[in-house]
Structure 1
Amino acid sequence: MPRLGTATAWRDAARCLVHVAPSDIDWGWQDAPTPMFDEPLPPARDLTVPKAFAALSRLLMAERSGQGFATAHTLLHRLQADRGLLSRRADPDVSRAERIAKEIRRDLHKMHAFVRFREVGDQSQRRRFAAWFEPTHRIEESVADFFVNRFGDMDWAIITPEVTTTYADGKLSQEAVPSTRPDDGDALEELWTTYYSNIFNPARLKVDAMTAEMPKKYWKNLPEARVIPGLIAGARAQVSAMQAAPARPARPRIVEAPFAPQTLGEACAAARACTACPLHCNATRTVWGEGPADADIMIVGEQPGDTEDLAGRPFVGPAGQMFDQSAAVAGLDRGACYVTNAVKHFKFVQKGKRRIHQRPARSEVEACLPWLMQELTLVQPNVVVAMGATALHALTGSGTGLLKRRGHWEETRDGRPLLITVHPSFLLRLPDAQQRAAEIQAFQNDLRQVAGLPK
């Protein structure tokens, strides 16, 4: 098999040899000694294989000794009569293939983690970087796309003892040439070594775990490896000094508003420029609350959904329609309520053309809390309704035990009466029609508690 283009060459040969007994074939690399007997290949045959085999065989092609070629062919030969072979993990051939594939995956992971680039060339030219790495297996072709995707905005070369991979002007190329390790360093390595030394935590040092994940065979290519022995040697003394130092009191967490707006309009305008958490990067816009500025009741949900993000208004999507219907049954006038969300930006994961809702993280809820507190301050509602765990966390500091707390009254962070209930989206997700009907009834009963309060 050739050093580059290995997977394609093996596939073409395997189509010719699929019905030849594995014991009659001698697989090897082109740079290995030529065998004494070398017969021409029979004609190629059309064949189909399970998807699992296609992925597995690509990994096996990188095995250094050539055993991966033979193992892949053995599986291919047997798959012609036994299509379910790969599902039997205890089969000796399948087990051998999985063991080799695991070794290859580990080697790929190590190359992903331990390649270190150095700047090469003078500053008058486009900046270029180079790295040296010594993989256990022949994984250069398999790993190339990873580095193109990760470092596609710069020119670089990754050199191994057998292959040089180059990415320049947006084009990837590979050449099978012998190389030796360069000895030059650069200023960036010194900066990285200083940074590594400063983030080293002696209290969390576990030498066995560190050397298992970062074997010493890779240390000669890592600039930080120069300081690791010294950091390990001084770890115990550093921990003792940390333990002997007097404890510092924890700083209280104070939620402060970015400024003190006089109206909801001013607060809304300021919120449009909020960058306190990463959600603003992907959301279409800030979705502010709406309703009477002096509403007696404030309804707080989780976050805007896809429909709300596009429309710029809260509670207009499917969950909002469920709320409107239940509020009407319960005798609660939505038009008289101020409706808003604990988080003002839509958090989602893109899947094809769809944007799939994701629950906000605690840090994102806390980042958005000043805006919610401003709404409470400006509207001054007599009663607040928390719909869902995220709203409950924002308003009380804890969103745990929602179903045990629903239907009960508590207080907001600023001391207002708070009714706890589920979010309408919870009702929409229930698959059982009978259970959904019961939960909708319970939700309407929760809202009746608010609708029946004196104004």
Structure 2
Amino acid sequence: MIYAPHLPRLGTFEAWRTAARALASNDIPADQVEWMMEGGQTGLFAQDGAALPAPRDISVPSGFVQLARQVCASRAEGAHELLYRVLLRCRGNAALLSNRADPDIARLEELAKNIRRDMHKMKAFVRFRDVSKPGANRRQFLSWFEPDHRIEELIGGFFQRRFGDMDWVIVTPEVTMRFEGGDLSFEAVASERLDLSDETEELWKTYYANIFNPARLKIKAMQSEMPKKYWKNLPEADLIPGLIANAEARVAQMQAHAPTLPPLRAERILDRLPDRDAARDIHACKRCPLSAAATQAVGGEGPQDAMIMVVGEQPGDTEDLSGRPFVGPAGQLFDRLAEEAGFDRAAAYVTNAVKHFKFQPRGKRRIHQNPNTSEIEACRVWLTAEIDAVQPALLIALGGSAAQALTGDGSRITARRGRVEKGLDGRPVLVTIHPSAILRAGPSAGLEEHLRADLRRATEMCAALQAAGVDGVNR
């Protein structure tokens, strides 16, 4: 006998679970079951409408139910058959699901990954249009989306939580999701693509065209995150081919023109620097490619007569956006350790060996990358100008990039940590670890005490120099 359970478009997983429990608990082999979506044609030998055997208790490994819930939404051929076959195999074999070398398990994980990717794309590319009626108590919105798989029931809770303050309808080719008055409902109904154009689209397209940065264009990354199949649902998609085609010419045009005047917040940053002319040159710097992608150059900050100059690696994401050094997570950790060590952070001049943020785009995040030797050398002119202007008595090199810039050697920082070396210009350089290394290693590595000890030593060295009547070099 061939059983042919029919699975409805809504409640697919629940129907599959009920049928699978009845079949598996009665040891019905996988080759005697033909799973059908509602409305599909039954096979020649299948017993259409044949009653399923009475279910008995059955246990499955932890994690199978969640995996099955996702895979049941797949449109891939044989997905439900594969699920049932794995269900039969994993009874009494709890370790099966963790065996990624097993072909059935590898295929299940691949199908589940495709479902999660489809859900992510729906979260990213659903665009609501306001269809509120005059006098309505709640805002009303409408959207159209074409998922690759049957994910509506899996994703409905996300939109309910995210947009719980308004009524909305999301229409797909097979299902309409409604959230009205706080209630979420699903209706299996065929729908044609909706025309959702409105008067705000032209305003949005104008805004998008003006914020598009051709210097940061990464076509492969953009198509990976926003595949072309979704472009027809996005108002700005009409602009993208032209923006891509003209990107190279626009970058060349931007490079050919002189820098514009900095905004007022940049003026305030420049006022904190010891040499305003040098600071202006930093913001126009094109000595290495880092300036093309970074938001702005980030110079140093601190008293113009500081006895200690602290040199880090480069601005991070927070520093790049704010225009100030040592304000991100690593800078905040440095401030805390300095306070605990009795190091007067406000009396020190802080800067970086490289003035532009070097990063690798990854989705919406910008992942820090270490500057290379050529980038450190290209930025040395700005660091030298800061040292000449401040004339510190002691330099502190935080990490390999700073040690490379100040001593010419950026290697073996752990072994050199705590040592005072002679810098390239003859000044003493205290080599120590960078706070970001502490953040990466975690508190269990015990690196915080190393940096605290080095900051205490720097404080003691400056006190000794002041007692000897030395408050700087070549002053």
| Cα separation, 2, equivalents of 1:410 and 1:255 | 32
Which amino acid is 1:11 matched to? Answer: R
Query: What is the CA-CA distance between 1:169 and the residue it aligns to?
Result: 3.8
Which amino acid is 1:136 matched to? Answer: D
Q: Deviations over 1:160-204 (max 9, x none)?
A: 122111223443222223333322421222222333333455677
**Stretch moving more, 210-219 or 161-170:** 210-219
| Corresponding residue number in structure 1 for 2:174 | 162
Residue of structure 2 aligned with 1:147, choices 159, 164, 177: 159
Structure 2 residue 257 is matched with structure 1 residue 248: yes
| Cα separation, 1, equivalents of 2:109 and 2:253 | 51
Which amino acid is 1:12 matched to? Answer: T
Q: Aligned with 1:453: secondary structure?
A: helix
Q: TM-score, normalised by structure 2?
A: 0.58
Query: What is the CA-CA distance between 1:130 and the residue it aligns to?
Result: 0.5
Structure 2 residue 32 is matched with structure 1 residue 24: yes
Change (3 A) 1:339 1:105: closer
| Cα separation, 1, equivalents of 2:167 and 2:111 | 33
| Corresponding residue number in structure 2 for 1:43 | 55
Residue of structure 2 aligned with 1:100, choices 104, 111, 118: 111
| Cα separation, 2, equivalents of 1:137 and 1:14 | 21
Structure 2 residue 145 is matched with structure 1 residue 133: yes
Change (3 A) 1:389 1:154: farther
> Is the 1:300–1:387 Cα contact (8 Å) retained in structure 2?
yes
Change (3 A) 1:258 1:79: same
| Cα separation, 2, equivalents of 1:438 and 1:226 | 56
**Stretch moving more, 202-211 or 10-19:** 202-211
| Corresponding residue number in structure 1 for 2:15 | 9
Query: What is the CA-CA distance between 1:38 and the residue it aligns to?
Result: 1.6
| Cα separation, 2, equivalents of 1:169 and 1:225 | 33
TM alignment of 1:38-437, pairs within 5 A: 38-51=50-63, 53-64=64-75, 67-125=78-136, 126-200=138-212, 214-228=226-240, 230-231=242-243, 235=245, 239-240=248-249, 243=252, 247-250=256-259, 256=268, 323=341, 334=342, 338=344, 403=413, 407-408=420-421, 421-422=432-433
Change (3 A) 1:401 1:448: farther
Give the CA RMSD over aligned residues: 5.4
Which amino acid is 1:74 matched to? Answer: R
Q: Aligned with 2:135: secondary structure?
A: coil
Query: What is the CA-CA distance between 1:71 and the residue it aligns to?
Result: 1.4
| Cα separation, 2, equivalents of 1:160 and 1:431 | 50
Change (3 A) 1:206 1:60: same
> Is the 1:300–1:385 Cα contact (8 Å) retained in structure 2?
yes
Which amino acid is 2:94 matched to? Answer: R
> Is the 2:214–2:251 Cα contact (8 Å) retained in structure 1?
no
| Cα separation, 2, equivalents of 1:242 and 1:304 | 30
Change (3 A) 1:385 1:186: same
| Cα separation, 2, equivalents of 1:128 and 1:95 | 43
Query: What is the CA-CA distance between 1:150 and the residue it aligns to?
Result: 3.6
Q: TM-score, normalised by structure 1?
A: 0.60
**Unpaired stretches in structure 2, ≥5 consecutive residues:** 1-6, 273-301, 313-325, 351-367, 371-389, 468-475
| Cα separation, 2, equivalents of 1:257 and 1:118 | 41
> Is the 1:164–1:175 Cα contact (8 Å) retained in structure 2?
yes
> Is the 2:420–2:428 Cα contact (8 Å) retained in structure 1?
no
Q: Aligned with 2:200: secondary structure?
A: helix
Q: Aligned with 2:195: secondary structure?
A: coil
> Is the 1:409–1:420 Cα contact (8 Å) retained in structure 2?
no
Q: Equivalent pairs: percent with the same residue?
A: 40
| Cα separation, 2, equivalents of 1:200 and 1:208 | 16
| Corresponding residue number in structure 1 for 2:4 | none
Change (3 A) 1:60 1:103: same
Q: Aligned with 1:256: secondary structure?
A: helix
**Stretch moving more, 421-430 or 121-130:** 421-430
Change (3 A) 1:450 1:150: same
| Cα separation, 2, equivalents of 1:438 and 1:184 | 61
Q: Deviations over 1:219-242 (max 9, x none)?
A: 43332334445556xx25x64465
Which amino acid is 1:47 matched to? Answer: S
Which amino acid is 1:407 matched to? Answer: V
Q: Deviations over 1:398-438 (max 9, x none)?
A: xx879358534779xxxx998564589959968689x9999
> Is the 1:407–1:446 Cα contact (8 Å) retained in structure 2?
no
Query: What is the CA-CA distance between 1:26 and the residue it aligns to?
Result: 2.3
| Cα separation, 2, equivalents of 1:245 and 1:295 | 38
Aligned length: 364
Query: What is the CA-CA distance between 1:78 and the residue it aligns to?
Result: 0.6
